[in-house]
Amino acid sequence: MAKEKVPESVTRRLSLYLRYLRKMKEEENISSGKLARLIGLSDVRIRKDLSYFGQFGTPRKGYKVKELREQISKALGLDRVWNVALVGVGKLGTALLGYPGFKKSGFYIKAGFDVKLSKIGKKIAGVPVYHPYQMPKIIREQKIQIGIIAVPAKAAQESADLLIISGIKAIFNFSPTRVVVPSYVKLKNVDFASKLEVIPYYIVNYPQLKCFQWLDGS
């Protein structure tokens, strides 16, 4: 029997649950109702999301925080280390290199790529920077699985093509433009501007909503 496909909205919410669980003590128990109140969702939604990945918790006792955190981490593939390549070490790229949340979730940026000679051969936030023509060699040697694009719009597609040629199967695109990738490559476009432009609409029309209820796609 084919495994049921999990909607992307569910995986986004699992990430949100995990963030809250990481702030709790491991020996604690938590009910779906309490977790729902903390996050601003219904306990029915939380139980349904978790049901995609098996049976969690004990009736009337809730979930063990440590166990639930480990199970969600495994479901999201965060129980292992993921090596990452960053293309574009400008202001945004440098900020991403210094973001501590990546390592907490098991994402390690192993190499940066940039065309500026002043950056090539140096380390920024402890990460070595190479010229893009070295990408296939470095990605293979470092066993890198994920690529991040943080370049100007005009260089985004070329950067994506280079990552794909180098063997990357998943790309996060922070560039302010869309890129085209083959069907076997997982692409996530992160458009800060478009998300910001939506906020005033919800503030004006739905002031009662909590921000994460509509920003996380639930």
pLDDT at 8: 84
SS3 85: strand
CA atoms within 13 Å, Cβ hemisphere of 35: 30
Among all chains, which residue has been given the structure tokens 């109140």?
37
Burial class (CB in 10 A: 0-12, 13-18, 19+), 171: buried
Q: Mean pLDDT throughout 53-60?
A: 71
The partner residues of 147 in beta bridges, in order of sequence, read 85, 171
Residue range 8-74 in CATH 1.10.10.10:
yes
Q: Mean pLDDT throughout 98-118?
A: 93
More confident residue, 52 or 118: 118
Cβ neighbors of 126 (< 8 A, separation 6 or more) are 97
Domain boundaries, the chain: 8-74, 82-193
Among all chains, which residue has been given the structure tokens 């180098």?
166
Compute the distance between CA of residue 190 and CA of residue 184 in angstroms, rounded to an integer: 19
Lowest mean pLDDT across 9-18, 55-64, 149-158 = 55-64
Running DSSP on this structure, what letter comes out for residue 133? G
The backbone torsions φ and ψ at residue 193, rounded to the nearest 5 degrees and listed phi first, read -60, -45
Q: Which of 109, 179, 127 lies closest to 151, judged by CA?
A: 179
CATH class, 82-193 region: alpha beta
In one-letter notation, the amino acid at residue 182 is P
Provide the whole-model pTM: 0.78
Compute the distance between CA of residue 96 and CA of residue 46 in angstroms, rounded to an integer: 30
Burial class (CB in 10 A: 0-12, 13-18, 19+), 124: middle
Residue 120, CA distances (Å) to 139, 153, 179 in order: 16, 21, 25
Cβ neighbors of 167 (< 8 A, separation 6 or more) are 136, 139, 140
More confident residue, 58 or 144: 144
> Percent of the chain, pLDDT > 70?
83
- pLDDT tens across 147-199, in order? 999 999 999 999 999 999 999 999 999 998 999 999 999 999 987 665 555 56
The token pair at 37 is 């109140």
